[in-house]
Structure 1
Amino acid sequence: MSEPDFNLLAALDALLAEGSVAGAARRTGLSTSAMSRTLGRLRATTGDPLLVRAGRHMVPTPHAQAIRERTRNAMLEIRALLSPAASELHPSALDRVFAIRANEGFVEIFAPRLIAAAADEAPRVSLHFAPKIEKDSRYLREGLVDLEIGVVENMGPEIRLQALFRDHFVGVVRAGHPLLSGPAVTAERYAAYGHVVASRRGLSRGPVDDALAGMGLARRVVSVVPGFPAALAVAMASDLIALLPSSYLPAQDAAGKGMAFQSFELPVPAQHITISQMWHPRQEAEPAHRWLRQLVRRVCGTLPVNDPERNA
């Protein structure tokens, strides 16, 4: 039995990740015709069609679905084997693209600082920030991103994590809002106004609603938007109240929006949240990845709301 052509592994990984010949060709830098021929070779080698036509698209066969994660892990292991040893890592010579999956609030606050810090230490490193539409550990498991940043939830027991900082939510209204021009902000006055909620999943209810319900109160959610920037924009242009992380507001002050909004502590128990960075154990000891994690932790440690005791 002849030895398999290991060059086919990279093409197989690209085909299973992209789900199309054209996408895999772009990913690997080959022409579409060359990738089509490679798919033919893979079909002959594996004895399986791998990708089959379904209308205008291609879908993976059951065998392709079964080997997708193993293929991805094999590619990542090969890259790790061919990476410099720990004693030889010099950030200034590191030439790599890191993908970080985080919500737009984190990106708006920290991306400029992370990019600047990385440029100082490793000028040939590129940081690509991927949107975080839903919480799903497959991006880490399949090696689609290097780091995921956010609140830990249903990520799986194998995922490694490290706390970066603690945060809490505050109320935000436009400058001159009547809520802050009258008496103290009580739960009754807070609930009396309309609210705009930021939720990438379109949810209108959260812990604040549970706290209000315990007091016999309910707020009226007038609008649901996909992220914090949109919620702030709506609040600044209306009498609606937004709920935003306290860490998000300093960046808006720095951007010149500080005079257009005011924040206040919630008149109900505020839920504290811990923002963590998460990664797959296969990258635990990789020198370049360890450098990235240290960079993220150091930059996030400069945030005023940072809680060092929680980061131990």
Structure 2
Amino acid sequence: MNPPDLNLLITLDALLSEGSVAGAARRLRLSPSAMSRALARLRDTMGDPLLVRAGRGLVPTPRALEIREQVSRLVQEIETVLRPSEQLDLLQLARTFSLRTSEGFAESFGPALMARLRQEAPGVRLRFMQKPNKDSQPLREGLVDLETGVVDESTAPELRSQALFRDQFVGVVRTGHPLSQGEISAERYAAGDHLCVSRRGLDRNLVDDALAQIGLSRQVSTIVDGFATALALARASDLIATVPQRHTAGLRSGMYTFALPLATPEITLSLLWHPRLDADLAHRWLRACVREVCAEPLPGHRAATWTCR
């Protein structure tokens, strides 16, 4: 059985409302002959004449009178579904959003974001998910609503993105570590025992490139796959962790943070989502919340500064 032509529903509503072929044609901006052909199709589909001639005009059949209000209601509902959303009632919004981030983001920005959501949309729940890799499949499949990350050549080209903030790398050691006293030169920094954060298990990153440019190298004795693990190990040992400053602000409490005595490039953390959610009003609102929270100064956050020698 072939599916019904839903365009006929709109035509039927116009015919039953106007009570004439000419009037329905004007309403739908069709020619009278096109409307007559549509009425013939409706009669054949429904097995009822629907409108019959009485003198100079047309009158509805009992079947037409029976369904007239139902047809009008259905057409109004269809128009409501197809009409672009114009407003969002945040107080009535009940929805769970999934946000996939690297370690440190939830600890640094989660409290302010959750407070914002509780105030504006108490029925919204936020589910933070760990980001073990840069695979875009969870966004494509709708398993994740939003994701944070650095946009590069591995990012799926169809994804939408917007920059959240620029970040710089800093060194972090335990309180009482030798580097927490005195001036930190590039030589002192390079001579220490280092951690390297790499999801792929690499023992070299942009810090090593920066050191090589000034003729230095460092000893990496431990490789971990996340910032939280790196900072936990540094907190309990003499290892030196090098991590993004703003991204890990919530993880470095009670530790000694210092500006790197060498020039390393900044990174830009961005918000990513799939284009199918681009026009969703609730999703737009959440994206704005994340952007605004990330733009606010973090409590106790102070940009690291140093003098190069």
TM-score (norm 2): 0.67
1:148-204 CA distance string (max 9 Å, x none): 11211222222111111111110011112212324x222221111110122233222
- SS of the residue 1:158 aligns to: coil
1:83-129 CA distance string (max 9 Å, x none): 99522411111111111111121111122221221111111111111
What CA distance in whole angstroms lies between the structure 1 residues aligned with 2:87 and 2:190? 59
CA RMSD of aligned residues (A): 2.5
* Aligned equivalent of 2:139: 140
Residues 102 and 131 of structure 1 are in contact (CA less than 8 Å); yes or no, is this contact kept in structure 2? yes
Matched, 1:151 2:145: no
Matched, 1:235 2:234: yes
Letter in 1 for 2:207: V
What CA distance in whole angstroms lies between the structure 1 residues aligned with 2:222 and 2:279? 45
Question: Which residue of 258, 266, 285 maps to 1:264?
Answer: 258
- SS of the residue 1:104 aligns to: coil
Matched, 1:209 2:208: yes
Letter in 2 for 1:102: T
Question: Shift in Å at residue 144 of structure 1?
Answer: 1.4
Residues 196 and 223 of structure 1 are in contact (CA less than 8 Å); yes or no, is this contact kept in structure 2? yes
Distance 1:283 1:239, change over 3 A: same
- SS of the residue 2:151 aligns to: coil
TM-score (norm 1): 0.66
Residues 300 and 306 of structure 1 are in contact (CA less than 8 Å); yes or no, is this contact kept in structure 2? no
Matched, 1:292 2:290: no
* Aligned equivalent of 1:164: 164
Distance 1:111 1:84, change over 3 A: farther
Distance 1:199 1:83, change over 3 A: farther
Structure 2: state its 5+ residue gaps.
Answer: 4-79, 304-309
Distance 1:107 1:284, change over 3 A: same
Residues 172 and 242 of structure 2 are in contact (CA less than 8 Å); yes or no, is this contact kept in structure 1? yes
What CA distance in whole angstroms lies between the structure 2 residues aligned with 1:125 and 1:82? 23
Of Structure 1 and Structure 2, the greater helix share is in 1
Residues 164 and 306 of structure 1 are in contact (CA less than 8 Å); yes or no, is this contact kept in structure 2? no
Residues 94 and 122 of structure 1 are in contact (CA less than 8 Å); yes or no, is this contact kept in structure 2? yes
Alignment of 1:51-200 (within 5 A): 86-153=85-152, 154-182=154-182, 184-200=183-199
Higher gyration radius (CA) = 2
Give % identity. Answer: 51
Distance 1:93 1:223, change over 3 A: same
Letter in 2 for 1:282: R
Distance 1:293 1:83, change over 3 A: farther
- SS of the residue 2:86 aligns to: helix
What CA distance in whole angstroms lies between the structure 2 residues aligned with 1:82 and 1:104? 40
Question: Shift in Å at residue 206 of structure 1?
Answer: 0.3
* Aligned equivalent of 1:279: 273
* Aligned equivalent of 1:27: none
Distance 1:187 1:127, change over 3 A: same
